[in-house]
Chains A and B, each alone.
Chain A
Amino acid sequence: DTGVSQDPRHKITKRGQNVTFRCDPISEHNRLYWYRQTLGQGPEFLTYFQNEAQLEKSRLLSDRFSAERPKGSFSTLEIQRTEQGDSAMYLCASSQTGLENEQYFGPGTRLTVT
């Protein structure tokens, strides 16, 4: 198992464009989480999935953000009409059922909105 992977690792986009990030969790992990992290801060929870069901969305996740996990495997996070304030590291993590607090993180996707 190669761990959690994220693609792309870096994304530079112009304000107003849409971007989509992908996360591939550890294969036997049922839970998948998205976080956002800005420089000097800890990761902020955005949303999480139990298999294909999205269980909760943070108020940080405005209507420009949408996340999916269609078959309970990989997940995508889309940001529409990007703004400069969206510039951050977007982290994905996964965990096993029963070990939800032991999360395995991917390397993150660094988004820069110009």
Chain B
Amino acid sequence: LAKTTQPISMDSYEGQEVNITCSHNNIATNDYITWYQQFPSQGPRFIIQGYKTKVTNEVASLFIPADRKSSTLSLPRVSLSDTAVYYCLVGDSNVNTNAGKSTFGDGTTLTVKP
């Protein structure tokens, strides 16, 4: 399973755009990139998933360059409630092999200040 590297922590202020970059140099052809958010004492929550280029939903955008060796989660206009740990995962989409066997790293702790 591809290993991911993220910054340990980031600080931001309310209303700013936050970009968290994840490196995954050993990503395989079948791998998708998935981001989760976790608040203290809660399970992780799925945010967004992508394979290449750009994906956007109501919560975030995910930018993936052509070589797919990194990805950037973009959170527009963060608020205090976005303070959480954000995990980048690279997972096999092949249902017959490792699909769903996700390897979480230690994530990025985002602190949003007033």
Contact call A101/B43, Cβ cutoff below 8 A: no
Count A-B contacts at CB 8 Å: 66
Give B residues with C-beta under 8 Å from A: 32, 34, 41-46, 49, 85, 87, 89, 91, 93, 95, 99-107
Contact call A95/B100, Cβ cutoff below 8 A: yes
Our pick among A33, A42, A110 for the contact of B100 (Cβ within 8 Å) is A33
Tell me, yes or no, whether A74 is within 8 Å of chain B by CB.
no
A16 to B21 Cα, complex, angstroms: 43
Contact call A101/B44, Cβ cutoff below 8 A: no
Contact call B101/A103, Cβ cutoff below 8 A: no
Residues of B within 8 A of A44 (CB): 104
Q: How many residues does chain A have at the interface if contact means C-beta atoms less than 8 Å apart?
A: 29
11 more A-B contacts (CB under 8 A) besides A44-B104, A45-B104, A101-B32?
A: A33-B100, A42-B85, A89-B41, A97-B95, A100-B93, A101-B49, A102-B49, A103-B100, A103-B102, A105-B43, A107-B41
A56 to B102 Cα, complex, angstroms: 12
Contact call A31/B100, Cβ cutoff below 8 A: yes
A91 to B89 Cα, complex, angstroms: 17
6 contacting pairs across A/B (C-beta < 8 A): A31-B100, A45-B101, A56-B101, A103-B44, A104-B46, A107-B42
